Amino acid sequence: MLLSNENSTVTVYISSHAGEEFIKIQDADVITTEDFARAVTEMYTKKRYKRMAIFLETCRAFTFFKNLNAPNVFVMASSDEGENTMSHTYHPGLSMTINDVFSFYFINFMDKAYTKFSTLADLYFYIKKNIESATVRYMNNLGIDMAQVKLDEFLGVDTKSTFNYLNAEEFNKLIM
């Protein structure tokens, strides 16, 4: 269970498989755009967050937010309708890729370009300029320009944060 309230800043980062308007969790469960939008709206209604940032790396990622209109939410998606996200960083010991392009540049930004003054806009434009294989998109329902929102607010870089790691079953309970 997510232990949040009306003063909480919630960050969701999902890297998974997807299609138009749905994502798969561990290749077993499917979450539709309608279910997710309903869950976030319910969280807002029940005062389970003050602000929320959602980062999604999947094929056709932005289509997943088609029905999302809850207030105080920022979304960044790795790809647009009809687009795939690409693998990155092959690990020979595992004989597989260990992340995708969006995650690679997300982590790269945090490791190399982040400062205490970095904003959501800085992160977005950094990732967007480095990814040529897909269209990185965002949606901002925060009520404030993303250039005025510090990353620290969502990523807890310089602030005290509580992290709740959810397995697939817990995640499904949270949004269903």
pLDDT digits (tens, 9 = 90+) for 32-66: 999 999 999 999 999 999 999 999 998 899 999 99
Fold of 9-175: Rossmann fold (3.40.50)
Instruction: Give Cα 60 distance to the centre of its chain.
Output: 13
Cα–Cα distance measured from residue 41 to residue 123, given in angstroms and rounded to the nearest whole number: 26
- pLDDT of 163 > 90? The answer is no
User: 135-149: string of b/e by CB count within 10 Å (b at 16+)?
Assistant: bbbbbbbbeeebeeb
pLDDT at 99: 74
Q: Is 103 left (phi over 0), alpha (psi -120 to 50) or beta?
A: alpha
Cα–Cα distance measured from residue 141 to residue 68, given in angstroms and rounded to the nearest whole number: 10
Q: Tell me whether residue 57 is exposed, middle or buried, using C-beta atoms within 10 angstroms of its C-beta: 0 to 12, 13 to 18, 19 or more.
A: buried
